[in-house]
Structure 1
Amino acid sequence: MSQKLKNKIEANDTSIKLLLKDEKFYIDYFQREYRWEEKHIKTLIEDLTNTFLKSYKEGDRPEDVANYQNYYLGPVVFSVNPDTAKKSIIDGQQRITSITLLLIYLNHQQRNFEEEEKVSISDLIFSVKHRVKSFNMTDENREDCLKALFEIGSYVAKDDDDETIINMVDRYHDIHDSFPEEINAKALPYFIDWFVENVVIVEITAYSDENAYTIFETMNDRGLNLTPTEMLKGYVLSKITDRKKRNEINDIWKAEMIKLHDYSKNADQSFFHAWFRAKYAVSIRPGKAGSQNQDFELIGTGFHSWFKDNHSDLFDLNNAEEFYTFFKDSFPFFVKYYLKAWKARQEFEPRMPHLTYINSWGIADSLQEPMLMAAINHGEKEELIFQKIDAVARFIETFTVRRSVNYKKFGQTAIKYTMFNIIKLIRNNELNDLYSNLSKEINDIPQNWSAVQDFRLHGMNRKFVKHLLSRISSHMDKQVGKDTSYVAYHHPKGKQFEIEHIWADKFDEHKSEFDQLNDFRDWRNKIGALILLPNGTNQSFNSDRYEDKIQHYLKENTYAQTLHSSYYEKNPNFLNSNSIKSLGFKHHDDFKKSDIVERTALVERICEQIWATDYFQIEHQ
């Protein structure tokens, strides 16, 4: 290798198509794990789809995509061995992995299109040499997972799967859940064209590992750019003329930043997004092509600039004393309850249980966090604040569960106008008004509980079914006085719970009721034919006949026990409860189609009870 080539560094703007087409990338040992979380992939999908929808309009010609707004995804750094042309990823494998998962999803979305309507993107996912298919991310540990996702759109986890595989499958499901319905069959080819052509990446290539790692360190360790939070702080301090007061606010600011950064390195920016959207934003960009960003979007892209332009009209901050008082009092107050809400989403808080539920099954943070803060007011007692936050969280969970049993998505793009209007509706509400407003909004949700009758488990909704069964199981335990919670079923510290099919996957045992295998499997996956069992128990008995399984169910959670006739003999808490009597439980000595129908109707009644609007009655608290 010549010294000249060894020292060479190249940097070029490129597209996803040019970056990935028929390429192979090797992943260095020090960064093999794929660690993107749900919030990362959902933010990416929101950003991409929102940018596309700002330009796209029905009736556009394919060539119009070239003039759509571009989206900058960031840099990737490669080290290329000039002798072997082997290309190693030094920085950017998280993004390239996420792009690959999105391309696989998009390829599935167009699988039923006519050939002339499809956009060819398979060569961005894998290449074929000597009739052997290999994926662009060259890592043998990923091959089985990527192959399954590409070919059938799902992957069954193995016990020895590592963190990367688990995260890849989870993020693929997140893409499915958050991809907006607005990008329908007509718009999808335009989105794919835009995604592979208009999303800009800076490709940095070095021809020695030494140069590549130097670039990596420079990009990650030596940045001196001020963050939006720091620019906001500078502006606020410039408005406070008294030196002593300015130093006081500076000290307060530092203290609050430490608290926020204890949770996440970007929690400061998330906080200002949530606070300003919750309490002060009054407008949002209309969903038509060419529309300009409004308060909601401008806060997301540059809250420091937005505050500078709006503090007089929206915050009523016009002089040094008002700036001082606001950031001395209101700022720490809202940081405190933003963090309390954040903590309650991670660790079960009995005074705000619904925060745990929406952490598992909520809406995009860009909407959820400002909704949770919208109704609380500076100076309110903590008990009242917790009541308000939990009420909003209950509304969010009711919304997501009702949409999910109706097979409706709730990505940010699809619901942001509805949720932003609710933010404005509940902003600064007294408790009575908050309960009244949220109850009315729930009654206006068009998706109702009757859809439970047709709801079933499928390859992409296992996460939701686990949430639903955890809520049902913990609800029934609570009704009979058991000291268990949702967390004990959904994400316990010890042995995990798994979804149990009451019917074993044995079509031959059910031919008296079914002619077709697919019909049998549809019924086997109905929500009324599923329960939760501890991992191990589930694996030990899941292939047994029902008459053998039911003896084991009697030792499990209340919801599973109610299948057995013996449970109805000596359980006074169960037998004497009016709340339980209203649900109409019955035991099932056999488990035929008719039993699944009855059990599914029971699930519908339990859902109506769990998410009843009675919660929003003051006298009920």
Structure 2
Amino acid sequence: MSKLENKIEARHRNLFDVLNEQKYTVDYFQREYSWGEKHIEELVTDLTSAFLNEYAPGDKRKEVENYNNYYLGPFVVSSKDGKRSIIDGQQRLTSLTLFLIYLNNLQKELGESQKIEPLIFSEKYDEKSFNITVEERIPCLEALFNYGSYSPAETDDESTANMAERYQDIVEAFPEELKNDAFPFFIDWLKYNVIMVEIIAYSDENAYTIFETMNDRGLNLTPSEMLKGFILSRFDHADKRQKANDLWKKAMMELKAFEKDEDQRFFQSWLRAQYADTIRPGKAGSKNEDFEKIGTRFHSWVRDNLNKVGLDPDSGTSFEQFIQHEFQFFLKAYTHILKAEKVLNARLEHVYYIHRWGIAPTLSFPLMLAPLNVDDSDDMVVAKINTVARYIETFVVRRSVNFRKFSASSIRYTMYSLVKDIRGKSLDDLKQVLSKKLVEMQESFEGVDEFRLHGQNYRFVKFLLSRMTAWVEQQAGMSTSFATYYQPEKGKPFEVEHIWADKFSRHQDEFEQEHEFNSYRNRLGDLVLLPRGTNQSYGDLPYEQKHPHYIKENLLVKSLCPLAYQNNPNFTRLQSELNLPFKPHEAFKKQDVDTRQHLYRAICERIWHHDLNS
């Protein structure tokens, strides 16, 4: 190797230096962008909370220079022939690019003029190119930059579709309290006070060695490890300390089998659920309180709040009991939730649902753990968790059909307050409290009457139709489930399809303007779930010609056909016993869309009613 190839550099750089008019490619083995909602939500929450802990209304912009820095970790690049390839850190840098695109779009709405664009793309010879270049992702990035949304095509890879979803998560996670005078301060802070360590290798061999060392042999202590060190240091007996250490290590391995950082999310959720009392008010300049501090430095919070946690600094026994009882109990409950998110389980079905459409995990997990008591039986733990998850699902569905958002930033104060309201409650009291909360909600299922598909809510519409379709079939004694339609393990995936073909000319007797037709065509009453490719085969036919094909499909689609009402006692019993306004449709006009919409509302009211005792 030459001297240059042997060279390795590491330097402290702010985000502006890292991204401003810089060019990176992504190494082939780092190609997949796999961050989920909770990763993005954590990034946005951590960054905005760190800023808000420094900012005070009335500050001058120059004072941002003296705000505390935020360390975002290292990234590794290989530099060859003037080109730089990201070896480690692609997830964070891609997520930051999505975040910067959102901030750039937001500042247009707010009338700001911060120079963010050079951190996203650079321009040469009148041609723009994104600073982090992966060819197949360019259409997605361009659409997000220009329009704030992207609808993935069938040819898109999983990473591109994931990027589009994570952008929407950023929209939901960004706090309202920064959409004011604090916004330009936040941009300054993000550009110049968020710090990364850039490690540059000038040969692929050295770059991969650094990558392996950082991922396999990293020695930095995590907050979980620091908490363990503090707690175990208070044990009175070495043998008990060793047993507790073995127990802790086994637990951390179990959690990390789900996700690399799941151990930290466990402690954040558990401590918030059971011990946090104070919350930062939702206004710029407020200081972080229990809920925020646990989210950023829970190991320090425990050390500073021993009384709240029930730990006696002068009694090693209290620390031993904490590990033997509280720790093990809440670990088991937490893993119940993690497993229920992945596989549909009848006893915890609502956990599965809210993992697909629910509030941010930083809110939902503390809520689900809050009512638990260490002497609860396993059955009681499951019942309480599922009850809270059912409340969360009903809450988000009601908000969604009324076109109301439920971003973490907009509901965090409400939900963290609810954590305290339901903490340690019996199952009966829990149901009473949460049922009352649903009764008090402003949003009702009257919103379904006007609900429609638009560019930003396809995922929710698919969720809604999947839940309704599975519920109707289950009430009729069939064995299908939500997973059958939302995320089937085999067979063709299901897609949201229109009953009306996209043919304005066929509906000019009822609509004078094409935009009126298009709006009505997107109403929920005109939508069904069909296997991919099915609707394409007869989708352009007039309704009268294609609706006989619907008899071969799921029961909610079949219900359009007169034949579904003949010799089908389970279906007709469902119709009469639940008083649901099913009816066949020989034709499908504007009034039929309204009738169908009324049916969907009735089904929603049955599935997501406010009485959690039934």
TM-score range normalised by the length of the shorter chain:
over 0.9
How far is 1:397 from its partner?
0.7
Match for 1:515 among 506, 512, 520? 512
User: Aligned partners of 1:510 and 1:197: how far apart in 2?
Assistant: 57
Distance 1:252 1:67, change over 3 A: closer
- Within-5 A mapping of 1:566-577: 566-577=563-574
- Within-5 A mapping of 1:305-454: 305-317=300-312, 319-454=315-450
- One-letter amino acid matched to 2:360: A
How far is 1:467 from its partner?
0.8
Distance 1:447 1:199, change over 3 A: farther
Indicate the residue corresponding to 1:559 in structure 2.
556
Stretch moving more, 593-602 or 276-285: 593-602
User: Aligned partners of 1:448 and 1:361: how far apart in 2?
Assistant: 18
Indicate the residue corresponding to 2:3 in structure 1.
3
DSSP-derived class of the 1:127 partner: strand
- Contact 2:350–2:393 at 8 Å: present in 1 too? yes
Indicate the residue corresponding to 1:538 in structure 2.
535
DSSP-derived class of the 1:352 partner: helix
User: Aligned partners of 2:77 and 2:574: how far apart in 1?
Assistant: 66
- Contact 1:180–1:414 at 8 Å: present in 2 too? yes
- Contact 2:348–2:385 at 8 Å: present in 1 too? yes
Indicate the residue corresponding to 2:601 in structure 1.
604
- Contact 1:178–1:410 at 8 Å: present in 2 too? no
- One-letter amino acid matched to 2:11: A
How far is 1:314 from its partner?
3.5
Stretch moving more, 309-318 or 442-451: 309-318
Stretch moving more, 34-43 or 322-331: 322-331
Indicate the residue corresponding to 1:165 in structure 2.
160
User: Aligned partners of 2:64 and 2:592: how far apart in 1?
Assistant: 53
DSSP-derived class of the 1:356 partner: helix
How far is 1:470 from its partner?
0.8
Distance 1:278 1:200, change over 3 A: same
Distance 1:235 1:120, change over 3 A: closer
Distance 1:153 1:305, change over 3 A: closer
DSSP-derived class of the 1:161 partner: coil
- Contact 1:473–1:557 at 8 Å: present in 2 too? yes
- One-letter amino acid matched to 2:438: I
Stretch moving more, 128-137 or 186-195: 186-195
Distance 1:119 1:521, change over 3 A: farther
How far is 1:284 from its partner?
1.7
Distance 1:284 1:512, change over 3 A: same
User: Aligned partners of 1:330 and 1:151: how far apart in 2?
Assistant: 50
Distance 1:187 1:465, change over 3 A: farther
Match for 1:264 among 259, 262, 273? 259
- Within-5 A mapping of 1:21-60: 21-55=20-54
Stretch moving more, 509-518 or 340-349: 509-518
Match for 2:503 among 498, 502, 506? 506
Stretch moving more, 356-365 or 54-63: 54-63
How far is 1:193 from its partner?
4.6
User: Aligned partners of 2:23 and 2:247: how far apart in 1?
Assistant: 50
DSSP-derived class of the 1:128 partner: strand
User: Aligned partners of 2:413 and 2:441: how far apart in 1?
Assistant: 14
How far is 1:344 from its partner?
0.8
Match for 1:486 among 482, 485, 507? 482
- Contact 1:53–1:287 at 8 Å: present in 2 too? no
DSSP-derived class of the 2:82 partner: coil
Stretch moving more, 164-173 or 360-369: 164-173
Distance 1:53 1:400, change over 3 A: farther
Distance 1:85 1:545, change over 3 A: same
- One-letter amino acid matched to 1:542: G
| Per-residue CA distance 1:108-155 (angstroms, 9 max, x = gap) | 3345566xx333433332233333332222222222332333333333
Stretch moving more, 51-60 or 93-102: 51-60
- Contact 1:574–1:580 at 8 Å: present in 2 too? no
How far is 1:531 from its partner?
0.9
DSSP-derived class of the 1:200 partner: strand
- Contact 1:178–1:409 at 8 Å: present in 2 too? no
- Contact 1:575–1:581 at 8 Å: present in 2 too? no
* Residue 235 of structure 1 pairs with residue 238 of structure 2: no
- One-letter amino acid matched to 2:13: D
Indicate the residue corresponding to 2:283 in structure 1.
288
- Contact 1:231–1:304 at 8 Å: present in 2 too? yes
User: Aligned partners of 1:221 and 1:476: how far apart in 2?
Assistant: 49
* Residue 222 of structure 1 pairs with residue 217 of structure 2: yes
DSSP-derived class of the 2:346 partner: coil
- Contact 2:172–2:408 at 8 Å: present in 1 too? no
User: Aligned partners of 2:21 and 2:571: how far apart in 1?
Assistant: 63
User: Aligned partners of 2:421 and 2:31: how far apart in 1?
Assistant: 47
Indicate the residue corresponding to 2:92 in structure 1.
95
* Residue 118 of structure 1 pairs with residue 113 of structure 2: yes
Stretch moving more, 66-75 or 379-388: 66-75
Distance 1:10 1:346, change over 3 A: closer
Distance 1:250 1:603, change over 3 A: same
- Contact 1:54–1:287 at 8 Å: present in 2 too? no
How far is 1:444 from its partner?
1.8
User: Aligned partners of 1:55 and 1:71: how far apart in 2?
Assistant: 11
How far is 1:160 from its partner?
3.5
How far is 1:493 from its partner?
0.3
How far is 1:222 from its partner?
3.3
Indicate the residue corresponding to 2:199 in structure 1.
204
The percentage of counterpart residues that share the same residue type is 49
- Contact 2:575–2:582 at 8 Å: present in 1 too? no
- One-letter amino acid matched to 1:11: R
DSSP-derived class of the 2:244 partner: helix
Stretch moving more, 202-211 or 89-98: 202-211
- Contact 1:361–1:400 at 8 Å: present in 2 too? yes
How far is 1:436 from its partner?
0.4
| Per-residue CA distance 1:40-68 (angstroms, 9 max, x = gap) | 11211222333344455677766665565
User: Aligned partners of 1:112 and 1:276: how far apart in 2?
Assistant: 38
- One-letter amino acid matched to 1:132: E
Indicate the residue corresponding to 1:176 in structure 2.
171
User: Aligned partners of 1:303 and 1:185: how far apart in 2?
Assistant: 30
User: Aligned partners of 2:589 and 2:71: how far apart in 1?
Assistant: 55
TM, length-normalised to structure 1? 0.91
- Contact 1:54–1:288 at 8 Å: present in 2 too? no
User: Aligned partners of 2:58 and 2:530: how far apart in 1?
Assistant: 52
- Contact 2:463–2:486 at 8 Å: present in 1 too? yes
Please, which runs of 5 or more residues in structure 2 have no aligned partner? none
DSSP-derived class of the 1:554 partner: helix
How far is 1:236 from its partner?
2.2
- Within-5 A mapping of 1:177-196: 177-184=172-179, 188=183, 191-196=186-191
